[in-house]
Amino acid sequence: MLLQQLVNGLTLGAVYTLVALGFSLVMGVLGILNLAVAELFMLGGYVGLTLMLDGQPLLVGLGAAALFTGLLGVVVERVAYQPLRHAPPIAPLLSTLGFSVIFQTVATNVWGSDPLLLPPELMDARYQLGSVSVGQAQLVVMATAVGLVVGLALVMRHTRFGTGLRAIAENRDVARLLGVPAPLVTSGAFALSGAMAGVAGVLIGLHYGALTPFVGVEVGLKAIAVMVVGGTTSIWGVLLAGPLLGVLEVMTVAFGGAAFRDMTVYGLMILTLLLRPQGLLGRAGGAQRV
């Protein structure tokens, strides 16, 4: 049973990693907590799964979701972030929250507040490895989490977009002097963050087989904890912190009771903030940038 619980924890960790990536990209570069990411995750799930229910293949669902939530990410950036760039960080936090509320209402009015259920047959294959059983969707979620982290790290290191983002993270004005098209790159970061959240939504919806308009709330908070523990300035951090919190949560539930679960997860987040504000893999000094 312990092994099976480990697999459960790793899957949950991969789920958190996927959502945390969306938060982390914008937070790491711009120091903004974009709360709408949690709802972009939810909307991506609805768009992708609706298409798949319509008979479209997985890749079409993923592509459409990524495109849709990526565009919405830019809308959020243009409306809720750009005009408030020089305001205290609470202002964009609350304006992105405004978008969260809007997105939840849109989903409720379009798809209803009842859970959207996928037919049980979708991605239903299971593999038995000794005493441990793993599902196809589970493997896809885990593989995608790793793939997206590696991909994003490569983009950040080796593309002009990535170096531009990192330059803006250091100093926006200097970056512009060096010829980085700051507004374009910033929009790109929001688009990418939204698209990743959308992809996460489709895969996670597929894995659990059900979605509600409020699915982003709890997962979003946990993903923020993952981002903090991993380090807001580190892409690789979420790949470490996601599974860590996932396994920790599952083990607390399995051996301590669900009552202590939130205490453990948020306790770890607070401890990280106090003792190692840059997170497990972040650079020192990162937490000062606000």
Q: Across the chain, where does the E strand assignment appear?
A: 116-117, 126-129, 132-135, 210-211
SS percent in the chain: helix, strand, coil, step 5: 75, 5, 20
Classify each residue of 228-253 as buried b or exposed e, where b means 16 or more C-beta atoms within 10 Å of its C-beta. bbbbbbbbbbbbbbbbbbbbbbbbbb
Binding to other proteins by residue 181, rule CB under 8 A?
no
Q: Report CA torsion sign: 82, 85, 91, 92.
A: positive
User: Given candidates 189, 215, 244, 245, which one binds other proteins under the rule CB under 8 A?
Assistant: 215
Binding to other proteins by residue 168, rule CB under 8 A?
no
Q: How far is the CB of 174 from other proteins (least distance, A)?
A: 22
Q: Report CA torsion sign: 280, 282, 288, 290.
A: negative
Binding to other proteins by residue 284, rule CB under 8 A?
no
Q: How far is the CB of 141 from other proteins (least distance, A)?
A: 11
Give the integer Cα–Cα distance in Å for 46 and 61: 10
User: Given candidates 57, 151, 267, 285, which one binds other proteins under the rule CB under 8 A?
Assistant: 267
**Binding map of other proteins across residues 74-113, x = CB under 8 A, - = no contact:** -----xx--xx--xxxxx-xxx-xxxxxx-xxx-xx-xxx
**What is the footprint of other proteins within residues 227-246 (CB under 8 A)?**
228
Shortest CA distance to 77 belongs to which of 222, 192, 234, 226?
Answer: 192
Binding to other proteins by residue 40, rule CB under 8 A?
no
CA atoms within 13 A on the CB side of 4: 9
Binding to other proteins by residue 193, rule CB under 8 A?
no
Window of 26-34, 47-55, 155-163, 180-188 that interacts with other proteins by CB under 8 A: 26-34
- Cβ closest to other proteins, residue 9 vs residue 188: 9
Binding to other proteins by residue 263, rule CB under 8 A?
yes
Binding to other proteins by residue 115, rule CB under 8 A?
yes
Binding to other proteins by residue 69, rule CB under 8 A?
no
Window of 57-65, 144-152, 166-174, 259-267 that interacts with other proteins by CB under 8 A: 259-267
Give the integer Cα–Cα distance in Å for 206 and 194: 18
Residues touching other proteins, count (CB under 8 A) = 81
Q: How far is the CB of 284 from other proteins (least distance, A)?
A: 14
Give the integer Cα–Cα distance in Å for 266 and 283: 22
Binding to other proteins by residue 29, rule CB under 8 A?
no
Q: How far is the CB of 228 from other proteins (least distance, A)?
A: 6
Q: How far is the CB of 134 from other proteins (least distance, A)?
A: 10
Return the structure tokens found at 215.
Answer: 């699915």
Shortest CA distance to 193 belongs to which of 65, 60, 24?
Answer: 24
Q: How far is the CB of 57 from other proteins (least distance, A)?
A: 22
Helix 58-76 to helix 90-111 angle (10° resolution) is 140
